[in-house]
Amino acid sequence: MIKIEIYHDGEFYCARCIDDLDIFSQGKTLDEVVKNIKEAIILYFEDEPSDLAGFDRNPSIFSMMDLGEVHV
């Protein structure tokens, strides 16, 4: 499983791996950032196949998203 954090920086949705993988992507919508981070993960493992050790060949992606402040 690869863990991803998704947050909005005010202009774009950003996604980054919170494991020991140096992978980041962004998009204007949630759908776009999810598509982009999946592509970035695929490209990362194509370039760094030795980093695949410990990961399933078809890993699940678990994402967390910052929903902002809660006012009560």
Query: pLDDT, tens digit, for every residue of 18-32?
Result: 877 889 999 999 999
Between β-strands 61-65 and 2-8, what pairing exists: parallel, antiparallel or unpaired? parallel
Query: pLDDT, tens digit, for every residue of 29-42?
Result: 999 999 999 899 88
Longest dimension (CA), the chain: 48
Read off the tokens for 43.
Answer: 């490209």
8 Å CB contact between 25 and 5? no
8 Å CB contact between 67 and 6? no
**pLDDT exceeds 90 at position 43:** no
- pLDDT > 70 fraction of the chain, expressed in percent and rounded: 76
pTM value surpassing 0.85: no
